[in-house]
Amino acid sequence: MTQTKIPVDPAFAATAQITAESYARDYAHSIADPNEFWAEKAQRLDWITVPTRIDESNFALDDFRVRWFADGELNVATNCLDRHLATRGDKTAILWEPDEPNEPAQHISYRELHARVGRLANALRKLGIRQGDRVTIYLPMIPEAAVAMLACARIGAIHSVVFGGFSPDSLAGRLADCDSKLVITADEGRRGGKRIPLKANVDEALKRPGTTAVETVLVVRHTGAAVPMQMPRDRWYEAVVEGQPDACAPTAMNAEDPLFILYTSGSTGKPKGVLHTTGGYLLFASYTHACVFDLREDDVYWCTADVGWVTGHSYIVYGPLANGATTVMFEGVPNHPDHSRFWDVIDKHRVTIFYTAPTAIRALMREGAAPVQRTSRASLRLLGTVGEPINPEAWRWYHETVGEKRCPVVDTWWQTETGGILISPLPGATDLKPGSATRPFFGIRPALVDANGAILDGAAEGNLVLLGSWPGQMRTVYGDHARFLDTYFRTYPGSYFTGDGCRRDEDGDYWITGRVDDVINVSGHRIGTAEVESALVAHPKVAEAAVVGFPHDIKGQGIYAYVTLNAGENPSEALRKELIAFVRQEIGAIAGIDHLQWAPGLPKTRSGKIMRRILRKIAENLPDQLGDISTLADPAVVANLVRERRDA
Ligand code: WT7
């Protein structure tokens, strides 16, 4: 197959930190001698004790460990703040853009951010938070979210950020799983002119069993809405930080001490608490951020993710701040007040690097070129995408209409589990191909395996695995190390299984094809089919449910649910709406079912296993591609579903 190739722009390469030659040389070095390579790169951080032990990881199950820089000591907050004060004290660290464009933006300097973090860190200590305690952050996209993360890091508390779109039940599950002692929230969040009742959601969550470890709730006054405060549990954030000193002695952390937990959906069971540690994570977030975005001192860098996802952790907060960059934090959405908002913000703040998700690009592409073209975007020099495969059409629109062919597009593949970018072009080094994440980052050894685990060479398609560790790799599933090993290391022994399918072309470029497990990627967010199914069967009228993903023009994948009602219950439009609302209530707005089909029966094998492969084909409306259905217990069930789908 021939692919369009967009060669590296010589003008970009002329000033880039990494060129094709240096990438080839340094990548080879990183694979040949990872200890030497990463020991040298580790010098970009400020260590209290410089590590002498580098990579001690081993994926073999009889001697398993993921361990980096084990004798190193450092503090993440001092790396993100204190060390910049001498040279960048007055530089803007966080440039906050509010939901409403007519309200003032905030420019928070490194000096001011350092002081705010110090005050909160002191307040947390005073409230009894000690090293290793868990603190849950349930905030909108306001500077306090970054302040809270860094304040935890300063005193060695482990943060767990929960996306503000999650329901009280989802929040409760995450609070309970890690026995959080303290919650930081706001009266309300705002997004696209709508209000999100965050404090009320926390109140609801804390009524659920398992959340009794929570002693304190700090509430940021953001919209000013009246919220009931339950004393002595609830405290105004403003009041507790007031009068605290700006200076706060940082806790010396071992490189392998936990930094944060971030919950993510898997193919089975409840969300997993992905645990990241201190030294390797920070080094990897900062180094990938500097290389992939070819970062310069005067860049204004904007990643549109929410801090509730790993992209926000690594590429709004930790990577950019460790690098002393100016990072834009945006409270709003791309279509409020209109479809020019992204481009208006770029012009307003002279953004040079812009990093967003394919789903946002597709939604804006649908509105045509006019909302883009009425803006300048002259400040832009680099574009990036993350979260899901980008279709070549959307890639081209981004490159041509948004970037006017001036800006390289980096399609960055990674996962919550990987901590940072693993496969991506480097803008001064890599020829681009619309739809391909192209080449592995330094130190990354991707491989493709067939169903039996045999490694495929050359141009091939298979399951994507990684043959060795990298500093930003997750260390465990919080509280369940066995699940960590089972999920990632048992499928293909000796390697880390990503859960993604992938193709490698003749040039050695990688093309991620999407999840091969029962995880759906909706607008770049992971939803486990099992989670949606268990929410559905929790409804009193539902007997059984099966959920699959199907192609969706804007979201990439949509959620398709097959529902069998209890005997005596009848399908109706009202019940369909009720079930969809019920699932959103149980999980959160990201679990919006796009299509719900009534299923008098579900296709099962004779041993009772639901045949999702068949359900996926029916959802895609490809009934002639059902494949082998000879193992079905009752073929009539399938004929029924196909007929209903066709007639719908
Ligand atoms: C899954 C990870 C990484 C931060 C955001 C999502 C998919 C991610 C790409 C990309 C194709 C991608 C994969 C991956 N994915 N980036 N550039 N091209 N697919 O993090 O929620 O942990 O999801 O997102 O399927 O496994 P996440």
pLDDT score of 627 = 87
DSSP-derived secondary structure for 478-522: TT-HHHHHHHHTSSSTTSEEEEEEEEE-TTS-EEEEEESSSEEEE
Residue bearing the CA closest to ligand 1, atom 8? 387
Q: What are phi and psi of 377, to 5 degrees?
A: 60, 20
CB-count burial class (<10 Å; 0-12, 13-18, 19+) for 537: middle
Answer yes or no: is pLDDT of 1 > 80: no
Place of tokens 């293909």: 492
Q: What is the mean pLDDT of residues 133-144?
A: 98
Residue bearing the CA closest to ligand 1, atom 20? 415
- Going from the Cα of 389 to the center of ligand 1, the distance in angstroms, rounded, reads 8
* Distance between CA atoms of residues 42 and 293, nearest Å: 19
Residue type at position 432: L
Place of tokens 């279509």: 335
Question: Per-residue pLDDT tens for 18-62?
Answer: 999 999 999 999 999 999 999 999 999 999 999 999 999 999 999
* Distance between CA atoms of residues 498 and 510, nearest Å: 14
User: Which residues, in sequence order, are CB contacts of 361 under 8 Å at separation 6+?
Assistant: 385, 390, 394, 397, 398, 402
- Closest ligand 1 atom to residue 524 Cα is 6
- Going from the Cα of 64 to the center of ligand 1, the distance in angstroms, rounded, reads 25
Is 523 annotated as belonging to a binding site? yes
* Distance between CA atoms of residues 46 and 291, nearest Å: 19
Question: Per-residue pLDDT tens for 216-256?
Answer: 999 999 999 999 999 999 999 999 999 999 999 999 999 99
Residue bearing the CA closest to ligand 1, atom 10? 413
Answer yes or no: is pLDDT of 578 > 80: yes
To test ligand 1's pocket by mutation, which of 262, 388, 416, 496 has the most ligand atoms within 8 angstroms of CB?
388
- Going from the Cα of 524 to the center of ligand 1, the distance in angstroms, rounded, reads 7
CB 615 within 8 A of CB 603: yes
- Going from the Cα of 553 to the center of ligand 1, the distance in angstroms, rounded, reads 18
Q: What is the mean pLDDT of residues 428-448?
A: 98
* Distance between CA atoms of residues 519 and 467, nearest Å: 23
* Distance between CA atoms of residues 623 and 557, nearest Å: 19
Q: What's 547-566 look like in SS3? A: EEEEEECCCEEEEEEEEEEC
DSSP-derived secondary structure for 59-74: --GGG-B--BSTT-EE
Q: What are phi and psi of 213, to 5 degrees?
A: -70, -20
Strand segments, DSSP code E, in 8-130 are 73-74, 92-97, 106-109
Angle at 292 between CA 287 and CA 294, to 5 degrees: 90
When the pLDDT of each residue in the chain is averaged and rounded to a whole number, the result is 97
Give the Cβ contact number of residue 342 at 10 Å.
Answer: 25
Is 526 annotated as belonging to a binding site? yes
Is 3 annotated as belonging to a binding site? no
Q: What is the mean pLDDT of residues 171-185?
A: 98
Answer yes or no: is pLDDT of 2 > 70: no
Pair of tokens at residue 538: 């929790």
Question: Per-residue pLDDT tens for 611-634?
Answer: 999 999 999 999 999 988 888 888
CB 532 within 8 A of CB 587: yes
Strands 446-449 and 460-466: antiparallel
To test ligand 1's pocket by mutation, which of 362, 391, 395, 413 has the most ligand atoms within 8 angstroms of CB?
413
Is 414 annotated as belonging to a binding site? yes
Total residue count of the chain as it appears in this document: 648
CB 352 within 8 A of CB 323: no
Is 400 annotated as belonging to a binding site? no
Does a cis peptide bond (omega within 30 degrees of 0) precede residue 493?
no
pLDDT band at 607 (very low <50, low <70, confident <90, very high): confident
Closest CA to 171 of 202, 216, 140, 210: 202
- Closest ligand 1 atom to residue 499 Cα is 26
Which residues approach ligand 1 with their CB closer than 6 A? 264, 309-311, 386-389, 411-416, 437, 498-500, 512, 514-515, 521, 524, 526
Give the Cβ contact number of residue 334 at 10 Å.
Answer: 23
CB 286 within 8 A of CB 192: no
The crossing angle, in degrees rounded to 10, of helices 573-587 and 168-177 is: 30
Question: Per-residue pLDDT tens for 462-507?
Answer: 999 999 999 999 999 999 999 999 999 999 999 999 999 999 999 9
Is 515 annotated as belonging to a binding site? yes
CA-CA distances (angstroms) from residue 600 to 207, 362, 427, 544, 578?
37, 36, 53, 10, 18
Place of tokens 């990503």: 498
- Closest ligand 1 atom to residue 437 Cα is 17
- Closest ligand 1 atom to residue 413 Cα is 17
114 three-class SS: helix
The crossing angle, in degrees rounded to 10, of helices 168-177 and 198-205 is: 60
Strands 409-412 and 446-449: unpaired
To test ligand 1's pocket by mutation, which of 318, 512, 515 has the most ligand atoms within 8 angstroms of CB?
512
- Going from the Cα of 386 to the center of ligand 1, the distance in angstroms, rounded, reads 7
* Distance between CA atoms of residues 380 and 318, nearest Å: 22
Q: What is the ipTM of this complex?
A: 0.99
What residues pair up with 253 in beta bridges, in sequence order? 74
pLDDT score of 12 = 96
Q: Go through the domains of the chain in sequence order and give each one's CATH number.
A: 523-644 (3.30.300.30)
Residue type at position 172: A
How would you classify residue 233: left for phi > 0, otherwise alpha for psi between -120 and 50, otherwise beta? alpha
Strands 382-386 and 353-356: parallel
pLDDT score of 311 = 98
pLDDT score of 521 = 95
Place of tokens 């000796």: 494
pLDDT score of 608 = 87
Q: What is the mean pLDDT of residues 606-610?
A: 88
To test ligand 1's pocket by mutation, which of 521, 522, 557, 590 has the most ligand atoms within 8 angstroms of CB?
521
pLDDT band at 3 (very low <50, low <70, confident <90, very high): low
Is 425 annotated as belonging to a binding site? no
Q: What is the mean pLDDT of residues 151-171?
A: 98
Residue bearing the CA closest to ligand 1, atom 23? 415
Is 159 annotated as belonging to a binding site? no
Residue bearing the CA closest to ligand 1, atom 11? 389
Q: What is the mean pLDDT of residues 525-532?
A: 94
Is 413 annotated as belonging to a binding site? yes
Helix, strand, coil percentages (3-state) for the chain, rounded to 5, are 35, 25, 40
Percentage of residues in the chain having pLDDT higher than 70:
100
Give the Cβ contact number of residue 509 at 10 Å.
Answer: 22
Percentage of residues in the chain having pLDDT higher than 90:
95
pLDDT score of 647 = 84
- Closest ligand 1 atom to residue 525 Cα is 21
Pair of tokens at residue 155: 């005193």
Least confident of 365-374, 375-384, 475-484, 618-627: 618-627
Which sign, positive or negative, has the C-alpha torsion 640, 586, 474, 43?
positive
